[in-house]
Amino acid sequence: MGPAKDHPRFSKEEYDRRFREIRKRMQEKGIDVLIIYGDSGSYNSNHANVKYVSNYQDLVSSYVVFPQEGEPSLHISNRLYLPYARRMSILPRTDAVDYDPGGAVERRLRELGLGKRTIGLVGLRGILYGSLPFGPLDHWHKAFPMASFVDATDLLAEVRLIKSREELAWFRKGAVLTDLAFEALEKKGKAGMTDFQLAGVIAGGYMPRGGGIKLIFIGSTSMSRPHLIFPCQFPSHRKVRKGDIILTELSADYEMYPGQAHRPITVGVSPTPMYQKMFDVALEAYTRVLRALKPGATHVEVKKAASVIQEEGFTTFDATLHGWGLLIEPPRVDIDAVMIRRPQNEFVVREGMLLVIQPNVVTRDGKRGLQVGNLVEVTAKGARALQKFPLKFMRI
């Protein structure tokens, strides 16, 4: 069995398309070479850009030198990982930085003769905007005093915004694997389990079928005396009890291409009237936003569709809608009645976008909350959910 079967990759035509799109924008912006950085932060999603051009993800950090003309090269964190990296990477020039990333990238730039040219720096663009580590960046500034350094992080974000046919096929696999997590919870979750044990049930639902763990946000709380309005980012040792609600945000991935879904779950009883009301409002907001996501629509229509949440007297904690790719991406849209003020994006809905609709309905006193959501794809006729598990108030 060869590397392509051990570590699936897209077709040569898909990578050629990506490289053309990147180089087209480099030419438009007058950039001669990109230094693309990735690390293992944000559940490894900080490797999105490196994964996009090389098919590789690292436990620590890695760099791709991507010239306007010439062969891109991958420079990984640790020589220990090189046998794996060379089977996974599509780039023939894959090597380790040997504890000196600044020097490794410098040597490659000198090989290419680009030490006096315009160098685009591609940092991180996810929940937070970030650049490259200071050490290597300082090294390059000193090594190439005649070069011009520019921020090119958004260049890759622009290229990755609209998904190709091949990419969408992988995201659909991620969505199927994510659905399996909820199927497993429904069949095997029960009172007396800890959140850790529920997380084990979740992972066991998809890992044997080739799914990776992207997000297991899970948290349980009493419906009568709640202490959570959003799931925990890591499981706790708390045991689930009859009368609880379990809050979830789950993403399994296929080769780092994930789905995402949110379902509330009651334990042993029906939802209390307030939790049922919040669920009904969340479902209505989801349905309205889904209908609004037609090509050509804007953030204004999306915000208006979700405003039923505040019209019904509730507020929100999490973002109502965000972009999706190799994890959370722009754009973001919130209603006016929010508990957290986030940077918002003005945008136009386009075919080929992936978005997560995820109304997080919270009582005005901030004591009770739940979330409903799905990963959706924008088609020529409108948006459709990639998640197929029913949008229901689950019960175990």
Residue 82 has pLDDT above 90, yes or no: yes
Q: What angle do CA 72, 214, 244 make, to 5 degrees?
A: 165
pLDDT at 3: 62
**234 and 368 share a domain?**
yes
Task: State the Cα–Cα distance between residues 395 and 269, nearest whole angstrom.
Answer: 7
Task: State the Cα–Cα distance between residues 101 and 107, nearest whole angstrom.
Answer: 10
**174 and 149 share a domain?**
no
**57 and 180 share a domain?**
no
* Bridge partners for 315 per DSSP: 362
Task: State the Cα–Cα distance between residues 188 and 190, nearest whole angstrom.
Answer: 6
Task: State the Cα–Cα distance between residues 94 and 98, nearest whole angstrom.
Answer: 12
CB 377 within 8 Å of CB 383 = yes
Residue 81 has pLDDT above 80, yes or no: yes
Quickly state the pLDDT bin for 4 (edges 50, 70, 90). Answer: low
Residue 307 amino acid letter? S
Q: What backbone torsions phi and psi does residue 39 show, to the nearest 5 degrees? A: -140, 180
CB 354 within 8 Å of CB 324 = yes
Stretch 40-69: mean pLDDT, rounded? 94
Quickly state the pLDDT bin for 44 (edges 50, 70, 90). Answer: confident
pLDDT at 45: 87
Query: Of 5-19, 116-130, 240-254, 328-342, which range is least confident?
Result: 116-130
Residue 287 has pLDDT above 90, yes or no: yes
CB 259 within 8 Å of CB 178 = yes
Q: What backbone torsions phi and psi does residue 369 show, to the nearest 5 degrees? A: -160, 155
Q: In total, how many domains does the chain have?
A: 2
The model's pLDDT over 186-200, given as tens digits with 9 standing for 90+, comes to: 999 999 999 999 999
Quickly state the pLDDT bin for 267 (edges 50, 70, 90). Answer: very high
Q: Could you give the percent of the chain with pLDDT greater than 90? A: 92
pLDDT at 6: 86
Task: State the Cα–Cα distance between residues 148 and 145, nearest whole angstrom.
Answer: 8
Last residue of a domain, one of 131, 160, 189: 160
**139 and 204 share a domain?**
no
**43 and 95 share a domain?**
yes
What is the CATH classification number for the domain harbouring 178?
A: 3.90.230.10
* Bridge partners for 218 per DSSP: 248
pLDDT at 97: 96
The half-sphere exposure of 279 on its side-chain side, counting CA atoms within 13 A, is 18
**250 and 390 share a domain?**
yes
The model's pLDDT over 140-183, given as tens digits with 9 standing for 90+, comes to: 999 999 999 999 999 999 999 999 999 999 999 999 999 999 99
What is the CATH classification number for the domain harbouring 83?
A: 3.40.350.10
Range of the domain at 381: 165-395
**103 and 75 share a domain?**
yes
Average pLDDT over all residues of the chain = 95
pLDDT at 2: 53
pLDDT at 1: 39
Residue with tokens 């800890």: 194
Q: Could you give the percent of the chain with pLDDT greater than 70? A: 99
The model's pLDDT over 211-241, given as tens digits with 9 standing for 90+, comes to: 999 999 999 999 999 999 999 999 999 999 9
Query: Of 159-173, 252-266, 293-307, 337-351, which range is least confident?
Result: 337-351
**332 and 287 share a domain?**
yes
Last residue of a domain, one of 160, 175, 206: 160
CB 157 within 8 Å of CB 34 = no
**101 and 247 share a domain?**
no
Task: State the Cα–Cα distance between residues 256 and 171, nearest whole angstrom.
Answer: 9
**48 and 77 share a domain?**
yes
**201 and 300 share a domain?**
yes
**98 and 194 share a domain?**
no
Quickly state the pLDDT bin for 41 (edges 50, 70, 90). Answer: confident
Task: State the Cα–Cα distance between residues 53 and 161, nearest whole angstrom.
Answer: 14
Last residue of a domain, one of 160, 179, 204: 160
